């Protein structure tokens, strides 16, 4: 539906703090899927189900920090400083822009959740840029929880590994090659991590406790099946070394994430978590 109205602005509201009620129309997301840019409009459905309001009734907002995607049905307050910066978008044009100090809050005054260092990373896909996908589904092996007999194998594109239906040779040095991308999501750097996954031990202390490891999203990664992409592996050094259970036991990783490449013979990792903690997940 075509937009109606004018781009003419009111000079007396420029470069002054304002607080406006309205609704969010998303324009762009950050790499981790959170909202970073939007149009702020005076009524629900504008630009989507009904014609856009006049450009001088729309504010183009570029957030200093992305926020969790808000409910477009819910009203919000927008606070910040307006400038007369025109935007021409396929969705609608706007006569005003707010950036730098823009803040989105609920009617109760609560700020919209932001992607700050206090927002925990609890999904593996948050570590992978939107445009990067697996070259194939994450490989899995079918384990009998009653023992290792009858375990099916998996081979990679080079023919390395063990054919399905045959017992895996746990002593074999022939490992399937790592696949996928090492591209990172810069927005997760410095944020707390709270992820479930599996442990691939790298180092132990004098007492035989594990103090260095790779943390991966599925069992068998880097050992029996191809390692996941580097941006789906975290290199971890533990604050307190632990006695590791079985390699198929799941753990929860807690710590602070850093965008830092790590290379080992077994696999490469795009992220690092130092002085982290691991907690066994009990079913």
For the domain spanning 124-138+180-280, the CATH number is: 2.40.50.870
| pLDDT given at position 62 | 93
Span(s) in the chain for CATH 2.40.50.870: 11-105, 124-138+180-280
pLDDT at 159: 47
The two structure tokens encoding residue 202: 């790298």
Task: Tell me what pLDDT residue 45 has.
Answer: 75
**DSSP state for residue 111 in the 8-state scheme:** B
How far is it, in rounded angstroms, from Cα 142 to Cα 179?
Answer: 20
- Work out whether the CA dihedral 11, 17, 21, 23 comes out positive or negative: positive
Mean pLDDT by 10 residues, the chain (283 residues): 87 91 86 81 77 93 83 85 93 92 75 57 85 46 38 44 48 66 88 92 95 90 76 96 90 94 94 95 78
Strands of the sheet containing 59-67, edge to edge, are 96-99, 59-67, 35-41, 17-29, 76-81, 103-105
If you ran DSSP here, which 8-state letter would residue 204 be given?
E
Long-range CB contacts for residues 69-75, cutoff 8 Å, separation at least 24 = 69/26, 69/29, 69/33, 69/34, 69/35, 70/24, 70/35, 70/104, 70/112, 72/23, 72/24, 72/25, 72/26, 72/44, 72/48, 73/44, 74/23, 74/106, 75/21, 75/22, 75/23, 75/44, 75/107
The pLDDT value given to residue 201: 95
Within 8 A by CB and 6+ apart from 221, the residues are 139, 198, 200, 227, 228, 233, 267
pTM for this predicted structure: 0.52
What is the fold, at CATH topology level, of the domain defined by 11-105? OB fold (Dihydrolipoamide Acetyltransferase, E2P) (2.40.50)
Helical residues (DSSP H) of 152-245, grouped into ranges: none
């Amino acid at each position: 539906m075509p937009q109606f109205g004018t781009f003419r602005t009111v000079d007396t509201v420029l470069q002054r703090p304002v607080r406006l009620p309205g609704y969010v129309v998303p324009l762009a997301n950050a790499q981790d899927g959170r909202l970073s840019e939007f149009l702020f409009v005076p009524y629900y459905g504008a630009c989507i189900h009904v014609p856009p309001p006049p450009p001088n009734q729309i504010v183009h907002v570029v957030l200093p920090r992305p926020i969790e995607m808000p409910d477009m049905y819910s009203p919000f307050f927008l606070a910040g400083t307006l400038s007369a910066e025109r935007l021409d978008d396929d969705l609608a044009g706007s006569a005003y822009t707010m950036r730098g100090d823009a803040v989105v809050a609920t009617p109760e005054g609560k700020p919209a959740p932001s992607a700050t260092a206090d927002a925990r990373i609890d999904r593996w896909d948050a570590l992978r840029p939107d445009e990067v996908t697996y070259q194939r589904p994450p490989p899995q092996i079918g384990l009998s929880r009653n023992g290792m007999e009858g375990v099916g194998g998996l081979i990679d594109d080079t023919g390395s590994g063990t054919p399905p239906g045959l017992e895996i040779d746990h002593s074999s040095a022939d490992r399937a090659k790592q696949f996928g991308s090492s591209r990172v999501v810069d927005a997760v750097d410095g944020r707390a991590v709270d992820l479930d996954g599996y442990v691939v031990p790298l180092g132990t202390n004098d007492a035989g406790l594990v103090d260095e490891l790779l943390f991966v999203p599925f069992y068998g990664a880097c050992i029996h099946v191809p390692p996941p992409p580097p941006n789906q592996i975290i290199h971890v050094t533990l604050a307190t070394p632990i006695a590791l259970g079985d390699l198929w036991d799941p753990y929860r990783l807690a710590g602070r994430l850093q965008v830092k490449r790590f290379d080992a013979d077994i696999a490469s990792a795009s992220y690092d978590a130092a002085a982290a903690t691991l907690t066994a997940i009990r079913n």
